[in-house]
Amino acid sequence: MKKQSKALVTTGLLLFLAGGAAWFLLAVVFTSYENLAVPVAAALAALGGLLLILNAVIHPESIPRPDVQPPQINVNIPPNIRSYPKPQAGANTNVPGIVNVEEWPIVSAFKKDSKPLTKRQKIRGTLCCILWLATVAVYLPVSFHMDNFEISWVVFLGTAVVHTLIYGLFSIGERKEG
Please check whether residue 140 is in contact with residue 40, taking contact to mean a CB–CB distance below 8 angstroms.
no
Residue 138: inside a domain: yes
The tally of domains found in the chain comes to 1
Residue 161: inside a domain: yes
- Residue partners of 70: CB distance under 8 A and separation at least 6: 96, 97, 98, 100
Residue 151: inside a domain: yes
Residue 163: inside a domain: yes
pLDDT score for 165: 93
Residue 37: inside a domain: no
Residues paired with 95 in a beta bridge: 73
Residues paired with 94 in a beta bridge: 74
Element (H, E) at 131: helix 119-146
Residue 69: inside a domain: no
Q: Model's pTM, two decimal places?
A: 0.39
pLDDT in tens, the chain (178 residues): 677 778 888 888 888 888 888 888 888 888 887 888 888 889 998 998 888 888 888 877 766 665 555 556 666 655 555 554 555 565 555 544 455 666 666 666 666 566 777 888 888 889 999 999 999 999 988 888 888 888 888 999 999 999 999 988 888 877 665 4
Residue 144: inside a domain: yes
| Residue 102 CB-half CA count within 13 A | 5
Q: Count CB atoms within 10 A of the CB of residue 56.
A: 15
Q: Determine the structural domain holding residue 171 and report its residue range.
A: 115-178
